[in-house]
Structure formats: structure tokens, C-alpha cells
Structure 1
Amino acid sequence: MNRSMRRFLLRPLRVLLAGCLLALVPGCTSNPRDPLVVLGPWTGKEGEAFEAALAELDDGTGRRYTYEGTRSLRETLVSQLEAGDPPDVAILNSIGELTEYARRDKLVPLAEESAERAYAPWSPTLLVDSRRRTYWVPLKVDLKSLVWSKEGASSADPKWCVGMASQATSGWPGTDWVEDILLHQAGPDVYTRWATGRLDWRAPAVERAWTTWARLLGKRSPASVEHSLTTSFEGATGPGGQPRGLLGSPGFDCTHEHQSAFIRYVYAGKDVRVEPSARYLDGRPEERDTFEVSGDMAAVFSDDPAAQVLVERLSSPAGREIWRAEADPAVRPLFPDPAGLPPTTFTDPNEQEIHSLLTSGARTLCFDASDVMAPGLRDAFHRAVLEFFRDPSRRHLASLLGQLETVRGEANGESGGDRTFRPPEDICASPGG
């Protein structure tokens, strides 16, 4: 799509901002206003593509946007909220955190135009102050129930790559394993009860997911365990500072990797293929078309009406097309509903496979369980998988699950205290809602 066509598509939205938003902003003058601040998780090429899309949205609107990308998103946002200077729009991948902010009156409910794009399971409505409303909308999404493998590697006896390090959130590659196994072994209903705090962590289905993970990984030497615990999920750094990916990193004698769709930026152009994870997880045949997903959701933290307009534009077909056109194929965003977008020409067969699975190959989509949980429980889950990876004995697992159950009970107010967290109810849905 050329620039003139993009501007034509966005012209109806620009009208909303014409004349300094006189209809929406009392006292607006011709003086330049501070730019809207957008805080998000994308850095590197992903951040550059999103910034370029924002620059296109700047054109002719009279209002400018500033993007702040960080890998330490939660810590940055918490410090800004504590300082009384939150961003106008923040893009988070945790429904648990978003729910917490909504119930603490930190979020502004979305305007109707954006709320209509609150696709399930990424954007469940919340009951806050006796009113059910929508507080965030997915901008981009990822498919998580995937396995990547070296071309020609046998699936009969996979050797698994595992890199658990990820700055402040180390451990999530392990929680992804446990979640995906539980989803395929126990099904969406049990998965939902567990993710939303209504199932004991010591339940047989939960314990089986952990022990299945240990069995699939097989026996590992102490040196191999430490190597995995201290190696980034991106693998070693190659020429030009680019990550090699675990399948191409020295020190990993492995053929398969369990990882989300986003990792395609590492393997683009390499002899690596992707397929659904179900066949590897010792799950039920009826759940082979069930997939775990994640997403990056936009929420409004500001009373400035222009923040609502920006979210509406970013989530619109025109805004998505601009973003997709600005991104390199390896980091091209996936969207929750491709309706309204022209057909995509795929140059990477892995990207085409992921797009096909997300849009037509899935029967049920369930949101990432740890990103649904209360932030404190999620963090405890991350730490527990790191400990379990080092010592997967039954006795140690029983202790870890008991500790996680204590954290769950405290969040639910089951130990006599106040309930500190109320998660959304619906985190699984058929594609398209």
C-alpha cells in the first residue's frame, strides 16, 4: 500500500482530531501540545517498525506521538504510576497486570470504536464498580503452541533446546512448557480454572504437566542444566550482534525448540521449520487443534481524548496495514482478526504456516496462563520452574507446588485475609471470538 492510499484510509480518523480536537478538548488553543506518550515492549527492529507506524499516524493530525520501548515494561510502568506520571497509552502482554490496574482505577475504559475490536480471548470484559466494560484491545498477537526444529530432524526422538534466561522475567520459557502441556492434556476447562486461580496447584492434572515436562526433556548433566539456566532464550550472539537462536548456538546439541511465533525473527531464512506442538506433549487427540496464545494489548491511562483516538487508529484495519507495511517480514505483526486487511504475500514458509494456524487451523485459543495470573503468582511460577529445572525430583516438586498453592490462596483471600486479585473469567475462545 502506497502512502497516498494510507492517507486516504486514515482521512476519516483525522477528522476526529481536526481543529485541535475542539469538540473534545475544552480550552484547546493553537499552541503546540505535548506529544502523547506510548509505552510498549518492543525494542530493536520491532520497536523501529512500531515507531515508523506512529510517524505515519502523525502525518496531518496536529498531534504527535512519542514511543518509549523497554524490556523492563512492568518495572517502568510501576515507577511512572508511583511518580504520578503514567504514559497516555501503555501496551502490555499481561492480562493479570491489566486487570489489576483496571480494578485500581488506573485505566480508562475504551471508547466504543476500540471496544468493538476487543477480540476473545485477548480482551475479556471486566466487571468493575458494578459495570461490565472493556479496558484494553489487542494490537498484535502471537501463537505459542509451536515447536521449531532443524530441517530434516526426526520428530521420533527430539533433543530439546532450552534457554531460560530473560532479564527480569527469567523462567517464562519453562512456564510456557508447563502451560502448553496442561492445556493439551487436561483441556481448556481445567486450564481455565487453573489459570484463573480456581484450581489447586497440587491437583493431579497440574502435577502431571510438570512431570511430563521433565520426562520430555530427559536426563541432563549439571553442566547442561546450568548452561540452560544462564543462556538467553534468543541463544548466543552471532555476527553483527544478532541472536543465533538456540538451534544454531554453540553448546546446544539439540534439534527441537518449544517457542512462540515471535522467535521467527531469529530463524528467518534459516533451515528451520515450525509445526504445532500438540504431537509432542502427550496430550489428548481431541485437543490437537487447541493453541495457547499471547498478545500485546493497548490500554489508556490518560484522560486525554486523543489517547482514545490513537488506540482506535492503531487497532483499525488502516492502522494495522501501515504497521505491517513498515515492518520487516521477520518481525511483521500478527493480528487477532485479519478482516479488512488485504491478503498477505508470504516470503517465509514459517510465517505462512503460523498465519494459517492462527486464522484457520485452530479450533480453540487460550490465553497464556501465567499472563492471566496475579503478578505475584506469575512471578512465583517463574521462579518455581527455574528451581524445578535444576531439581525435578518428586519431593522437590511437591514442595514447589505447595508454595505456589499458598500464594494462590493468599491472592484469593482463602487464608483469612482480603482477596487481592480477581482475574477475568473467560480466557479461551474459538478464533474470531
Structure 2
Amino acid sequence: MRLTRDKRVIIPLAGLAVLGLALTGCTGDAPASSGGTAAAGCEDYASYGTFTGSPTVSIYSTIVDVEADQLNQSWADFEKCTGITIKYEGSQEFETQINVRAQGGNPPDLAIFPQPGLLASMVAGGYLKAAPQSVSDNVDKNWSADWKKYGTVGGTFYGAPLMASVKGYIWYSPTFFSSNGYTIPKTLDELNTLTAKIAADGKAKPWCAGFASGEASGWPGTDWIEDVVLRQAGPDVYDKWVTNDVKFTDPQITKAFDYVGNFLKNPAYVNAGFGDVTSVNSTTFQDAGLPILQSQCAMMHQASFYEAQWPKGTKVAEDGDVYGFLMPPAAAGGAQAVTGGGELVGAFKTSDQITAVQTYLSSALWANNRVKLGGVISANKGLDPANAQSPLAVQSIKILQDPNTTFRFDASDLMPAAVGSNSFWKGIVNWINGDSTQTVTDFIQSTWPTK
């Protein structure tokens, strides 16, 4: 199954400001309807209006398979109560095809963008419409100003936030850890020590990993680097790295590469169940964690959304088959620092029914409806964490809603596309295949746009 968070090829874009996040949420009103009478039991949807003539709103995104089914469930009551039919289409080629469709004059009504940069490129091409006032009001009321800025280009607001993810989880088997006396590391040095001990014990490889993702192969490795940069160098350096004020060749960045390389380029530490170090590039990120269930590997680094990849019946809990702990800080007692991602909803067309759908998708009502179905979380402040379907999802929502969390949006999603979704991905693949840190960071830096 392809995930909505699967980063893929995106179109080059103008520069995008780098912003820290303090995460919140929303609820709100909708535009006047075009007439009609709401069905019984539709009180929650009354503000969105009722529409006659069965108008249709099309939505296009990267979200496929089970998650696509859950999206359709999340607006089923909205459709019944408003009279609007939502025609959803998910595609693994979204990032390429959205540009083709926009240029060809055949865009969807709405698109769910997995990267702020892709939304900005559509704005730069003159394809997207400014968000309607009802959506802007929702975001102003219930989301942080930083989240709104990710959907703002040139001072105009285009895209409301939708779902979110917490990256930097290290997935493991609680039973395997407890039976072998392993404890959750509290610092990056302790993670090193734990890795070495697991390898020395010889009961499993410490790590399994998978960077294969079609045209986007390599992105799971960029997430590794980003997590370590944020923890080792701190948020200020992280922000400057995204804007090229700190180069890929800077010692603070190469230090992060070398830290990750200690795990992923060491044949004694990877790649359990799949092969040698280079098998990291041929193993899909979806399959990467599965050897944990067979006690072939002890740990796998991946975001909160990986929960949807475990086989049906897998218990995700501290006393379950698998669980996750956040990559620890560089120093004991350090501030909680996480990277993450999310989606933005933008419109290619305008109408009352499109505005009603946009407004619903920016509401706490939608967030709660969707999260109840499982597999995703949101940074929406109006989201009740109790609606999450697992302890890890509840934990992730609380992290996102905690004002003391140091949160940064995925760096590669904010870098120019020539780097963030091109040379950074390719460089990571070459790095796993044997290129040195210096060779790879020199290559990535050389691709940074000069204008």
C-alpha cells in the first residue's frame, strides 16, 4: 500500500520560508447553501448548507488503498446531509500528474498536497485559488499561525492543513526488549550503546531498514538525517539548513550523516531479514519493519503513520506486538524535539459546493471523524486524542498539541525541489550503496539552486 506520506517527485518551486510549528486545530462555518432540506440527524452538518441537484466536487491526492476507503467514509455523512457528492481519486503518480492535469486544463476541484512546496509550485503556475474566507477563519481560530503559513504563498492563504504525522519513531517489539533486558534509550549515545549490545548478543540484528519507494526512493533516509540534525544541532541550525544558510557540507550536517551511517552502513547492524547494507535500497519502506515481528531485527526508524503497515491483528501498544519510542535527544533531559509532516488542501476552482467541502475538511468535525477510523492523526486542536485508535496515535496527538514540543516540518519538503525531492533522495541512495559522506554532501550541495 502506498501512503499519503510517501514523498514523491515534485515540481521545482520558488523559495518557501522555513517556519517552526506550534500545533493546533479548527472548526467553523460554511457558505450559504443553494437550497434544499437537511436529512434528519444532520445537526452537526447544518452550517455547511444543503444543496439541490446533486452537485459533485472532485478531490485528487496521493492517498490510495485502505486510506482512500477511510477518506470516503470520513465524508459520507457530510455527503448525505449536504447533498454534495465527493468524487475521490487517489494516485501513486499524483505529484507528476497534478502538474500535467493543471497545465492541460483538467485539474480536480480540490487536491490534497503532501508537501508545502508542491502547493507553492501550483500557486507559482497560477493554478490555485485563494482559500475562501470560511476556511481562513477556521484556520485562524483553531490552527497556529505557523501551520497557516505553510499554506500561504506570497502573503495569500491557499491551503488549509489536514492530517499530520510525527516522524522519528523507532519501532520495536516490547516482548523482545523485555526478554533480553533492553531498555528504551534516553540519549543518542545510549542508542549507540543499545545498538552495539544487541549486535554483540547476536539474537537479532539491531536494525532493519527500507528506502525503496519507486521514484521517491531514498526519502526514509532523509527522515533519519533530519531527525538527527534537529537533535544534535538544534532547531536554529535546522532552520538555516533548510534555507541553505547552513550547507550540506557544514560539519553540523555531516556529523548527522556519520551518526546515521554508524547504524545503516554497518553490516553488523543491518539489514535483518533482507540482506546486506545495500539491501536497504531494495527493501520497500512498507516492508522494512516486518522482521521485528519475527525477532529478526530489534528496531526500525519510521513515522507514526507506519502503524498502518503492520499486518492485521498486530497489537500496537507498550505491552503489544510492536510499539514505538521517539528518537531520544542528544543530551539527557533535553527538550522533546520531533520532525513531522502533513497535508494541505488547495482548490483549482471555486463554487459554493467546493467551499463547503473545503470548510468541512478544515474543521474539527472532520478531524474527529477521520481519526476515529484509525491509521492517521491530526494536529487539529479540536481533535479529541481519545478518538485515536491506538496508544501510539494518542501519544502522537498529544505530542503535536503540546506547546512545549519543539516541532519542525520535514526539511526536505521545505527545501527547493531540486534538492529536497531530488538530489537529497538520490544522494542517500548513493550513500547506502557506498559513497562517502563527503562525496554525497558535496553532490547534494552542488544542486542547490543559485536563484
TM-score normalised by the chain length of structure 2: 0.76
The percentage of aligned residue pairs carrying the same residue is: 21
Matched residue, 1:245: 290
Q: Deviations over 1:374-431 (max 9, x none)?
A: 22212111010011011153xxx222222222211xx2x3xxxxx3xxxxxxxxxxxx
Q: Distance in 2 between matches of 1:313 and 1:351?
A: 22
SS at match of 2:149: coil
Q: Distance in 2 between matches of 1:157 and 1:46?
A: 35
Letter of the structure 2 residue corresponding to residue 247 of structure 1: I
Letter of the structure 2 residue corresponding to residue 144 of structure 1: K
Contact 2:264 2:277 in 1 (8 A): no
1:202-351 paired onto structure 2 within 5 Å = 202-217=249-264, 219-220=266-267, 223-235=275-287, 245-248=290-293, 253-267=296-310, 268-269=314-315, 270-279=320-329, 283-285=330-332, 287-325=334-372, 327=373, 329=374, 331=375, 333-339=376-382, 341-342=383-384, 344=386, 348-351=390-393
TM-score normalised by the chain length of structure 1: 0.79
Q: Distance in 2 between matches of 1:257 and 1:126?
A: 32
CA RMSD of aligned residues (A): 2.7
SS at match of 1:308: helix
Q: Deviations over 1:272-306 (max 9, x none)?
A: 12111124xxx245754111010021111213343
Contact 1:146 1:275 in 2 (8 A): yes
1:65-144 paired onto structure 2 within 5 Å = 65-116=86-137, 117=139, 119=144, 121-124=146-149, 132-144=155-167
Contact 1:162 1:246 in 2 (8 A): no
The match for 2:46 among 11, 16, 34 is: 11
Letter of the structure 1 residue corresponding to residue 172 of structure 2: S
Contact 1:38 1:89 in 2 (8 A): yes
Q: 1:200 to 1:277 in 2, by over 3 A?
A: same
Contact 2:378 2:397 in 1 (8 A): no
Letter of the structure 2 residue corresponding to residue 123 of structure 1: K
Q: How many residue pairs end up in the alignment?
A: 373
Letter of the structure 2 residue corresponding to residue 179 of structure 1: E
SS at match of 2:359: helix
Letter of the structure 2 residue corresponding to residue 181 of structure 1: V
Contact 2:364 2:380 in 1 (8 A): no
SS at match of 1:123: helix
The match for 2:212 among 165, 187, 190 is: 165
Contact 1:160 1:256 in 2 (8 A): yes
Q: Distance in 2 between matches of 1:105 and 1:82?
A: 10
SS at match of 1:37: strand
Q: 1:4 to 1:355 in 2, by over 3 A?
A: farther
Q: Distance in 2 between matches of 1:122 and 1:114?
A: 13
Contact 1:171 1:383 in 2 (8 A): yes
Q: Distance in 1 between matches of 2:391 and 2:66?
A: 20
Q: Distance in 1 between matches of 2:42 and 2:165?
A: 28
Gaps of 5+ in 2: 1-37, 185-192, 196-205
Contact 1:6 1:322 in 2 (8 A): no
Q: 1:192 to 1:246 in 2, by over 3 A?
A: farther
Q: Distance in 2 between matches of 1:75 and 1:273?
A: 35
Q: Deviations over 1:285-334 (max 9, x none)?
A: 57541110100211112133432321111111222233234x2x3x1x31
Q: 1:50 to 1:195 in 2, by over 3 A?
A: same
Matched residue, 1:390: 433
Letter of the structure 2 residue corresponding to residue 157 of structure 1: L
Gaps of 5+ in 1: 21-29, 237-243, 414-418, 420-433
